[in-house]
Chain A
Amino acid sequence: MGQISQNVAADHKGQQHPIGLYLKIWALLFILSGLSYSVDYFNVEGLMRWSLIIIFMLLKAGLIISVFMHMMWERLALLYLIIVPPGAILVLVALMVLESDYVHLLRMTFLGGAG
Chain B
Amino acid sequence: MARNNHTPSEKTPAPIGRHEELLTDWASDREAFKNVSWGKSMMWIFLLSDTFIFGTFLTGYMTVRMTTTVPWPNPSEVFALTIGGVELPLVLIAIMTFILISSSGTMAMAVNMGYRGDRKKAGILMLVTALFGLSFVSMQAFEWTKLIHEGVRPWENPFGAHQFGATFFMITGFHGLHVSVGVIYLTVVAIKVLKGDYERRGDYQIVEITGLYWHFVDLVWVFIFAFFYLW
Binding site for B on A (CB under 8 A): 1, 3-5, 7-8, 11, 13-17, 19, 22-23, 25-26, 29-30, 33, 36-37, 39-41, 43, 49-50, 53-54, 56-57, 60-61, 64-65, 67-70, 74-78, 80-82, 85-86, 88-89, 92-93, 96-97, 99-100, 103-104, 107-108, 111, 113-115
> Which of B102, B112, B114, B222 is the one whose CB lies under 8 Å from A22?
B112
In the bound complex, what is the Cα–Cα distance between A76 and B102 (angstroms)? 29
Q: In the bound complex, do residue B218 and residue A3 qualify as a contact, i.e. CB atoms below 8 Å apart?
A: no
Provide the B44-56 mask, 1 if CB < 8 A to any CB of A, else 0. Answer: 1101100110011
Contact yes or no, A16 B162, CB < 8 A? no
The reply on B231 being an interface residue by CB < 8 A is yes
Q: Which residues of A contact B219 (CB under 8 A)?
A: 61, 64-65, 69
Partner of B223, one of A5, A8, A61: A61
Q: Is residue B143 within 8 Å, beta carbon to beta carbon, of the partner chain? A: no
How far is the CB of A92 from the nearest CB of chain B, in Å?
A: 5
Q: Are A75 and B21 in contact (CB under 8 A)?
A: yes
**B162, A76: Cβ atoms closer than 8 Å:** no
The contact sample of 27 A-B pairs, CB cut-off 8 A, is A1-B1, A4-B1, A4-B2, A15-B115, A22-B112, A23-B105, A26-B101, A33-B94, A33-B97, A41-B89, A50-B231, A53-B230, A60-B222, A61-B219, A69-B211, A69-B215, A69-B216, A76-B21, A88-B52, A89-B51, A92-B59, A99-B63, A104-B67, A104-B68, A111-B69, A113-B69, A114-B69
